[in-house]
């Protein structure tokens, strides 16, 4: 591979009048990155004073996330997310991150997830019972509330039904203000009495009150409930025997609250949209569910037979990956694709871009669950042409939990219901922390039986 001069930059789009490419990026991030990818496997842009690169080839992504992961830390987005998440698993670095991951990992072992599956089925069945034929539903809100209840019960033995609306509004506030956190100098702007700062702080206070209440209830009970929170309360550091204080536990609980329901809810919302637009795929999904379940509720043992259901979820996350981009900042100089990348540069790797790249996907814009019969999710992940849960040592710790939840919830709800887009529903992408539908997702419920 040709090694270029140290000051030679990869190709770039024409910059904005001020701020480099920041305004173009902020206006439509997925479209901007798609245009960047068309320039080559590695391209350059600038977000205000921040030099940035887009790595748009699987081998470059593997280089950053796996081979040379030790040279990088999380990008600015998650650096700024510390103002909400503290030093949780998603934002922490180095030895502290490894320690926290080791303590949390047992909560996501297969036997634990089998136990969680029972709560997933119970809550999904309640949701299916609550819908009425002909009702118009805010499906994005329905999915958020359902997955929130599940993560509250399975990971923290907490009934958050009464707080679901407040938590949902807080999460929506966090995501809607995420672009504000990415503004240059937002560290200082956040301290000013601006409307965005007040809304963000109010939402954070709502979440803190709920989470500290859950922690306090666990401490006062003095019993090990077998959930993640009980594990965190009694866990000791292997080296010095110290335990986590309430603030550290709060950071991990809030991180898992966010990551444990936001991503799956968005994946399911987009899945309902895609099924409504692809009646043949919807019919095949219903046929499999009816054949496998014979009218009963599923269990985790049914997952191996719900193959097309899994393929529907996989294809949905290919077209609309909930985590749509990954960012890393170099802690030292690095050479990538023959270019010199100075330390402190930001490198983005976009799931959305790679998942839509015609070099790796035949007819990439089409919803074709059948494509997963030829190539498994594992195979595509090993090639880094499909990485909805990231990759390398920072790969999502709750991936198995998310797959189990998405497949079971889709099977239970699709067993009973079809969903149809309301005529006036507008469509668009809102790429913030996760890839949300820009205008929500209002759909009409049609009973199957």
Q: What are phi and psi of 340, to 5 degrees?
A: -85, 120
Domain boundaries of the chain, sorted by first residue: 1-84+328-350, 87-323+356-447
Q: What is the mean pLDDT of residues 146-175?
A: 76
| pLDDT, tens digit (0-9, with 9 covering 90-100), for 325-342 | 999 999 999 999 999 999
With 60 as the cut, is the pLDDT of residue 185 above it?
no
Homologous superfamily (CATH) for 87-323+356-447: Cytochrome P450 (1.10.630.10)
Residue 181: predicted pLDDT: 60
Confidence of residue 214 (pLDDT cuts 50, 70, 90): confident
Is the separation of the CB atoms in 44 and 12 below 8 Å?
A: yes
Average predicted confidence (pLDDT) for the chain: 89
Cross-strand pairs, 20: 47
Report d(CA 415, CA 94) in Å as an integer.
Answer: 45
Query: What burial class does residue 116 get, using C-beta atoms within 10 Å of its C-beta: 0-12 exposed, 13-18 middle, 19+ buried?
Result: buried
Instruction: Tell me the whole-structure pTM to 2 decimals.
Output: 0.90
One-character DSSP codes across 152-215: HHHHH----TTTHHHHHHHHHHHHHTHHHHTSTTHHHHTTS--HHHHHHHHHHHHHHHHHHHHH
Q: Which tokens go with 185?
A: 């100098």
| pLDDT, tens digit (0-9, with 9 covering 90-100), for 387-421 | 999 999 889 999 999 999 999 999 999 999 999 99
Rounded to a whole number of angstroms, the CA Rg of the chain reads 22
Contact residues for 210 (Cβ-Cβ < 8 A; gap 6+): 160, 163, 166, 167
Q: Which tokens go with 294?
A: 């014979």
| pLDDT, tens digit (0-9, with 9 covering 90-100), for 7-29 | 799 999 999 988 899 899 989 99
Cross-strand pairs, 243: 236
Query: Given the DSSP bridges, would you call strands 429-431 and 339-341 parallel, antiparallel or unpaired?
Result: unpaired
With 90 as the cut, is the pLDDT of residue 221 above it?
no
Is the separation of the CB atoms in 316 and 270 below 8 Å?
A: yes
Spatial CA neighbour of 139 closest among 447, 436, 449: 436
With 90 as the cut, is the pLDDT of residue 137 above it?
yes
């Amino acid at each position: 591979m040709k090694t270029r001069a140290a000051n030679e930059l990869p190709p770039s789009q024409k910059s904005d009048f001020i701020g480099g490419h920041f305004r173009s990026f902020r206006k439509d991030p997925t479209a901007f990155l798609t245009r960047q990818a068309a320039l080559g496997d590695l391209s350059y842009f600038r977000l205000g004073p921040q030099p940035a690169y887009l790595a748009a080839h699987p081998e470059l992504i593997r280089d950053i996330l796996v081979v040379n992961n030790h040279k990088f830390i999380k990008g600015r987005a998650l650096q700024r997310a510390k103002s909400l998440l503290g030093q949780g698993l998603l934002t922490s670095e180095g030895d502290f991150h490894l320690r926290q991951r080791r303590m949390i990992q047992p909560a996501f072992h297969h036997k634990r997830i089998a136990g969680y599956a029972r709560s997933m089925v119970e809550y999904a069945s309640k949701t299916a019972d609550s819908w009425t034929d002909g009702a118009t539903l805010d499906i994005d809100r329905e999915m958020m509330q359902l997955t929130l209840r599940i993560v509250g019960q399975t990971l923290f033995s907490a009934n958050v039904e009464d707080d679901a609306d407040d938590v949902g509004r807080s999460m929506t506030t966090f995501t809607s203000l995420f672009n504000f956190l990415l503004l240059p100098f937002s560290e200082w702007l956040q301290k000013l009495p601006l409307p965005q700062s007040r809304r963000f702080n109010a939402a954070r206070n709502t979440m803190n009150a709920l989470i500290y209440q859950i922690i306090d209830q666990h401490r006062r009970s003095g019993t090990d409930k077998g959930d993640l929170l009980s594990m965190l309360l009694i866990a000791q550091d292997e080296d010095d025997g110290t335990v986590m204080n309430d603030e550290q536990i709060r950071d991990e609980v809030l991180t898992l609250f966010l990551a444990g329901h936001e991503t799956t809810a968005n994946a399911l919302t987009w899945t309902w949209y895609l099924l409504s637009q692809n009646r043949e795929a919807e019919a095949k999904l219903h046929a499999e569910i009816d054949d496998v379940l014979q009218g009963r509720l599923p269990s985790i043992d049914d997952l191996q037979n719900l193959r097309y259901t899994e393929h529907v979820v996989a294809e949905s996350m290919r077209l609309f990956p909930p985590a749509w981009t990954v960012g890393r900042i170099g802690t030292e100089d690095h050479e990538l694709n023959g270019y010199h990348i100075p330390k402190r540069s930001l490198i983005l790797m976009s799931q959305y871009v790679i998942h839509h790249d015609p070099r790796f996907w035949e007819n990439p814009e089409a919803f074709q669950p059948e494509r997963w019969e030829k190539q498994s999710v594992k195979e595509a992940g090993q090639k880094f042409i499909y990485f909805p849960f990231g990759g390398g040592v920072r790969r999502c710790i709750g991936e198995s939990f998310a797959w189990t939840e998405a497949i079971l919830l889709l099977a239970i709800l699709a067993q009973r219901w079809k969903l149809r887009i309301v005529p006036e529903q507008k469509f668009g992408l809102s790429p913030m922390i996760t890839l949300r539908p820009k205008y929500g997702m209002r759909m009409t419920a049609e009973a199957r039986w």
